[in-house]
Amino acid sequence: MTIFSRKKLAPSTPFSDFIRKASSGEKKRVYAKVLEKATERQNALTRRVRESRDRDRIDIHDPDEVRNWTKSLGVSKEELERAIKAAGTQADKVREHLRGRK
């Protein structure tokens, strides 16, 4: 009669072998690469989301967007802000408002 029985170990995997056997320096290098790749993917996702945002609206709080819209509409930042205040953030309404003023 045995009181203690041995648990069956799960089969070894390359990852578990790495965790068990790699030096601290090796792990740090691998973790740094993993974090770098994860950061790249997150940044790419953020860019895609930002680019696919509602392009019909003007975000006056985004300096890049303000620069692009002022250039596109041929107005100053102040004129754009006034137009948004008067017509809202929808680009077509801002365009109409600006056309009506010129």
Residues 49-55, mean pLDDT to the nearest whole number: 70
Dmax (CA) for the chain in angstroms is: 97
Task: Tell me what the pLDDT averaged over the chain comes to.
Answer: 88
Residue-level pLDDT at 102: 53
Q: Tell me phi and psi for residue 13, to 5 degrees.
A: -120, 160
CA separation for the pair 80, 71 (Å, rounded) = 10
User: 């802000």: which residue's tokens?
Assistant: 81
Q: How far apart are CA 93 and CA 99, in angstroms?
A: 10
64-75 tens-digit pLDDT = 889 999 999 999
Question: Which band of pLDDT confidence, cut at 50, 70 and 90, is reported for residue 53?
Answer: low
Directed axis angle between helix 91-101 and helix 77-87, to 10°?
Answer: 110
Does the pLDDT at position 12 exceed 60?
Answer: yes
pLDDT at 92: 92
